[in-house]
Amino acid sequence: MSIRICLVILTGYLTLFLFSRGQSVTGVRAGGRKPPRCFMQMAALLIGTLSVKRRSVFAKTDMHMEEELNRWYPGGAENARFCYRRDKLAYALLIVAAGTLLSLGMCVSSRQDRRDVEHIIRGGYGSAQTVTLTAQLETVNGRREETVPVTVKGKEYAKEQIDAYMEEIRDQLPEIILGENEDIDHVVRPLNLIRQMNDNPVTISWSSSDYGLIDSRGEIQAMDIPEEGELCMLTARLSCQGYEAEERFYVRLCRGQQTQEDPLLKSLRQALQEKEEENRTMETFTLPQEVDGNRVVWIRRTKDNSLVILMLTLALAAGVYLAFDSDLKKQIRERRQRLLAEYPEFVSRLVLLMSAGMTIRGAMQKMAGDYEERRMKRRKPYGRKQRKAFLRIENKEQIYEEVAIVCHELNSGIPEAKAYYRLGRRCGEPHYVRLCMLLSQNLKKGTAGLLILLKAEALDALEERKRNARRLGEEAGTKLLLPMMIMLVIVMVIIMIPAFWSFTM
């Protein structure tokens, strides 16, 4: 089942890859990530196909995404939206492909039978392992498979420990052998004649006074039991490293519902157990190659977890796809916080330059030029990895990035009023919107009184910055309450424990 699912998924990937080879993958990359090219092409084909048939219910989601990406990528929200959706879908496809290949490999590996198993390696002293084998029986009626578990015990112990282990077995054996029976005088179901207890090196061999009633494995052989029952004696021979002891149990077989086990499976289990007991002191033991005249081929299969891996892969791919949205929101939130933090300095610098006699356009160009010089000075000594880190959001002055865009728009012929309006729209914060409205209005009315308004705006921005700093400080103090309480508890424990010890002494 798992192999079929994996092959269907891989066939779909191959078909999608062949049809997507001509897709273009140029454009803005969301968050600076770059998935593999082939997966970007497949994602672009899927998005292009689904966008034609998409439902109107996604219109609001796309509008909200376009608005957010318009702030993050001022160059064009539509292209940014397509690239953003393409990149996160490409990563989801990559994870599903990797998980499908891993699941297919595990499934194929688990289905490869290791035939002709003749030896099983034992563990160390006192250890035990349970090996599940599959026996392929070549009977007269054809091939047949039976799954048989076998317990392989470790090596031997010392005499003092053996005496303790034997005493433990003598105490617990009367209750263990009952199995599903109520008591030893009313046996209607097979007995639990164990060969060895858990974590106990003592082996137990059983013998019956009447194998026609019950055999050495505890299976009831009698088909017709009288109403008064039949008495049978079972002898348990305890042995370990040459030390032996005997325990006898008298059981009464009564009529009841008895299950008959397949004779061939019973012979298979008995032969396997006898082989294991014969070679108890050796590192390995040879499995029986023939049972009741039937040739046996032993197979040791591994557990197939490929379907679980495939399901986990699909869940991981869905999680990564959804995590892209939260990552985008986090980056936009960080950008807004940086814009608010940079607003007082930006307004103060604008007032300073205009007070020196510069026009609004000249002040914008001056600030953009100074910012570019600072970037170049900070970027020169960096290596390749440092330059990539420098391009991330935390290393940028967001407002001056926007001012540089305004200068490029002005140089391309866009009117000043429209450029300032677009600046406020890209920033999206009320402070910047109000400032850009002041700049646009004074282009029409003249610059008289503009400096006074800008100075008042600068003072208001400084006060707002102080209030924000005070609020952040209060939030930080609130967040520190839990660590402080934990430290208080630790200090109290450090002080109280020695005090209690001194009282007890």
48-72 per-position pLDDT tens digit: 777 654 544 344 455 556 666 665 5
Residue 153, SS3 per DSSP: strand
**Model pLDDT, residue 228:** 76
Q: What angle do CA 452, 457, 461 make, to 5 degrees?
A: 150
Residue 261 has pLDDT above 60, yes or no: no
3-state secondary structure of 340: helix
Give the closest residue to 223 by CA, choosing from 251, 253, 252.
253
pLDDT band at 416 (very low <50, low <70, confident <90, very high): confident
Q: Are 294 and 138 in contact (CB under 8 A)?
A: yes
Predicted confidence band of residue 33 (pLDDT cuts 50, 70, 90): low
Q: What is the mean pLDDT of residues 84-107?
A: 84
- pLDDT higher than threshold 70 for residue 139: yes
> 430 or 377: whose pLDDT is higher?
430
- pLDDT band of 242, cuts 50, 70, 90: confident
Q: What is the C-alpha end-to-end distance of the chain, expressed in Å?
A: 68
Q: Which of 348-357, 390-399, 407-416, 478-487 has the lowest mean pLDDT?
A: 390-399
In the chain, the percentage of residues whose pLDDT exceeds 70 is 79
- For residue 118, what pLDDT is reported? 65
Q: Give the pLDDT confidence score for residue 57 in this predicted structure.
A: 38
pLDDT band at 194 (very low <50, low <70, confident <90, very high): confident
Chain centroid to CA 40: 24
Q: What is the pLDDT of residue 405?
A: 87
Average pLDDT, the chain: 77
What confidence category does residue 446 fall into, taking pLDDT thresholds of 50, 70 and 90?
A: low
Q: What are the tens digits of pLDDT across the range 151-190?
A: 776 665 677 777 888 888 888 888 888 887 888 888 888 8
Identify which has the larger pLDDT, 303 or 116.
303
HEC letters along 341-403 = HHHHHHHHHHHHHHHCCCCHHHHHHHHHHHHHHHHHHHHCCCCHHHHHHHCCHHHCCHHHHHH
In sequence order, the 6+-apart residues with CB closer than 8 A to the CB of 111 are 3, 304
Q: CA neighbours within 13 Å on the CB side: how many for 90?
A: 24
Task: Reply yes or no on whether the pLDDT at 264 is more than 70.
Answer: yes
**CA 320 – CA 313 distance, rounded (Å):** 10
The 3-state secondary structure of 86-138, one letter per residue: HHHHHHHHHHHHHHHHHHHHHHHHHHCCECCCCEEECCCECCEEEEEEEEEEE
Beta strands in 158-242 (DSSP E): 203-208, 230-240
Is a pLDDT exceeding 50 seen at residue 386?
A: no
Residue among 31, 81, 68, 85 at smallest CA distance from 336 = 68
Residue 312: other Cβ atoms inside 10 A: 14
pTM score: 0.47
